[in-house]
Amino acid sequence: MIKFLLKGIIRDRSRSLFPVITVVLGVSLTVLGYSYFNGVMTSWMQTSAKFEAGHMKIMSRAYAENADQTPNDLAFIGVENLLADFKKDFPELLVAPRIRFGGLFDIPDELGETKAQGPIIGLAVDLFSEESPEKDMLNLENAVVRGRMPQKYGEILISDEFARRLNVLPGQTSTLIGSTMYGNMAVVNFTVVGTLRFGVLAMDRGTIIADLADIQEALDMKDAAGEILVFFNDFVYREEAADRITETFNEKYSDKDDEFSPVMVTFYDQGGMADFMGMVSTFQGVLIFSFIAVMSIVLWNAGLMGTLRRYGEIGVRLAVGEAKGHLYRSMILESLMIGVIGTILGTVLGLGFAYFLQSKGINLGNMMQSSNMVINEIIRAKVTPVSYVIGFVPGLLATLLGTSISGLGIYKRQTSQLMKELEV
Amino acid sequence: MEMSNSFLITTKDLVRTFPMGRTKIFALDGVSLNFKAGEFAGLVGPSGSGKTTFLNIVGSLDSPTEGSAVVMGKKIETLSHKQAAWLRNKNIGFIFQTFNLLPVYTVYENVEFTLLLLKMSANERRKKVMQALEWVKLADRAKSKPSQLSGGESQRVAVARAVVKEPPIILADEPTANLDAENSYNILDTMVTLNRELGTTFIFATHDQKVIKYLRRKITLFDGKVAKDEQVEPEKGKGEEQ
């Protein structure tokens, strides 16, 4: 019977073409949408982890409570000892102590008078230690647009956009005006040796990258760091492992009664990221459900048209002794065959587009001018094993639903009218 | 249930009414008829006399309002839809006025379809389909599509589809209405041969004189009642009206 139905599908284009096109379109959009969403999320997670959150992050308890304000007066002191112990306990993990700071960036003229000035967000990272993963992780060497990488203390990088706005050239001296860990005013000179462009709007507006030791000195934060970012050494975030490590760390190092004791949080535990990820998952579900609903309605309609067009065939089949249930099931089987064919074609098409977007990406920079999200401007799709199978959910479910509803007409057909109907 | 007195079909006081506004129309009004194996019988009468309604009921496509119809030992009025479908599938072949072939399938596949429902093996199906096409002299057109056939050939395919499972009963509703005289006689000759060789009972509903000439039993219906039920001498062969 399957062979018989398949022959009908292949030979009768009006039976299969429209439903197949519908399924191909729906499935390819689902595959593409899923892969692109996946790319957005992966890009956002990776960029956020590298620039902001780490896979896990160690802070003082007090700092963690107000982390969105980067309160360096509550920074953790005793970084060297903590890191020495931490590396013994978790040798497979990478650590990156950082200080995030804000201030006024002042560019003086030849006479030392202010030529240009602007607010900055600064990121102090370990630029010079051999074991520091920062240069590679932040891809600093490739991000330098003009000038060079810092080679000694007192040298900094600033965002290219900011440099152009303040008319700063590599080699110029600049002054950071900020506040120390203890609330005093800090005024420190640096040499701008290069300008940067990360391709991350939130980082490219007005950021300076300085060496950790320089900023510890400038902000009176000796052996202190606002945040210690912790990464899995393959840079792939694993929620369960992160939870386990966090629990072990906090049990050993954290003291609930000491607000300056260190505390570790996972990527998902920071800044409502778990809620955000949950929201994205919901959106993905809504996307797939929407395709299923729309395709089901279209296929239902196509099924009704098909039932009308095949009125004679259905009548003959009932007359020669095919039970209504058998006929109904064969219609569903037929639609599932169409669903499988359409899904395979749609998946191939959707994967083609997804691979193209994985390679080329779409530049959404213009759409994110005022965005504070730490995410690349060029967002690429990401094809995963799930991308190969996700289309089968709407492809098969929609054909099944559409035909199940339209095929119910078979049960309303009165066999007593068949003789008359088949004489037309 | 045993077949009553070796009749394939027995109807007793068969009544079938259809609502028409506040009244009801008696399509059949107390029809009692019996059919034995191997009969070549026809229901004749004007339009609305109940011919098709009778075929519907003995073909288990409809149920009587009153009375009883027993076909191959099964009481039609008590059958579920599934049981009725099974009775048709196993025991009854239908030939319609319009041929109702499935256009996307070949002649072979059209004839094979009823056997698919009987879950026969592929070899057995092939043997039976080719045999049926031999009976109707269309073996050489097995791979043709219905659109490539003439009206007469299409109706012969419909006959092959009805006889391929070798049912004891074939019901034919105006089978020659869409055919010219030559094709009508060809089809009727084929049916007579099958009736003789396979012992299949043929029951026609017709007003076509060409069909009536072939009947060995003529049942005249009028206003849903049997007006006359007579054994007749068939005028075999073709050509008298040509």
Neighbours of A81 (CB within 10 A): 10
Question: What CA–CA distance (Å, rounded) separates A71 from A89?
Answer: 28
**Are A206 and A159 within 8 A, CB to CB?**
yes
What tokens appear for B237 in the block? 């062969």
Q: How far is Cα A401 from Cα A297, in angstroms, rounded to an integer?
A: 9
Any CB–CB contact under 8 A between A5 and chain B? no
For residues B219 and A83, what is the distance between their CA atoms, to the nearest angstrom? Answer: 107
Pair B205, B32: CB distance under 8 Å: no
Q: Looking at residue B21, what is its pLDDT? A: 82
Chain B residue with minimal CA distance to A9? B104
**Confidence (pLDDT) at A401:** 84
B38's torsion region: left (phi>0), alpha (psi -120 to 50) or beta?
Answer: left
User: What number of other Cβ atoms are within 10 A of residue A85's Cβ?
Assistant: 12
Beta strands B169-173 and A262-266 are unpaired
Q: Kindly identify which residue of chain B lies nearest to residue A2, measuring between CA atoms.
A: B116
Q: Which domains does chain B have, with CATH numbers?
A: 4-231 (3.40.50.300)
How do B225-231 and B74-75 pair as beta strands?
A: unpaired
Task: Render pLDDT for B151-163 as a digit per residue (tens, 0 to 9).
Answer: 889 988 988 998 8
Q: Out of A110-124, A303-317, B175-189, B227-241, which region has the weakest mean confidence (pLDDT)?
A: B227-241
Rounded to a whole number of angstroms, the distance from the CA of A399 to the nearest CA of chain B is 22
Q: Which stretches within A219-323 are classed as H helix?
A: 239-253, 273-309, 311-319
By C-alpha distance, which of A213, A210, A107, A222 is closest to A168?
A107
Helix (H, G, I), strand (E, B) or coil at A57: strand
Burial tier of A16 (Cβ tally within 10 Å: 0-12, 13-18, 19+): buried
Q: Do A319 and B116 touch (CB under 8 A)?
A: no
Listing DSSP states for A81-121 in one string gives HHHHHHHHH-TTEEEEEEEEEEEEEEEE-TTS-EEEEEEEE
pLDDT score of B2 more than 50:
no
Q: How confident is the model at residue B242 (pLDDT cuts 50, 70, 90)?
A: very low
- Nearest by CB to residue A322, choosing from B55, B85, B94, is B85
With contacts defined as CB-CB under 8 Å, which chain A residues touch B98? 422-424
ipTM: 0.83
Instruction: State the average pLDDT over residues A386-413.
Output: 84
Which are the contacts of B35, defined by CB distance < 8 A and separation ≥ 6?
Answer: B7, B8, B9, B10, B41, B169, B201, B203
Nearest to B61 among A7, A316, A418 (CB): A418
Strands B217-222 and B40-44, by their bridges, are parallel
Please name the residue of chain A whose CA is at the shortest distance from the CA of residue B85.
A321
| Percent over 70 (pLDDT), chain A | 96
* Positive/negative CA dihedral, A135, A140, A141, A146: negative
Closest CA of chain A from B22, distance in Å: 21
| Distance to chain A for B101, nearest Cα, Å | 8
Distance CA A408, CA A307 (A): 10
Residues 170-209 of A with CB under 8 A from B: none
Quote the mean pLDDT of chain A: 87
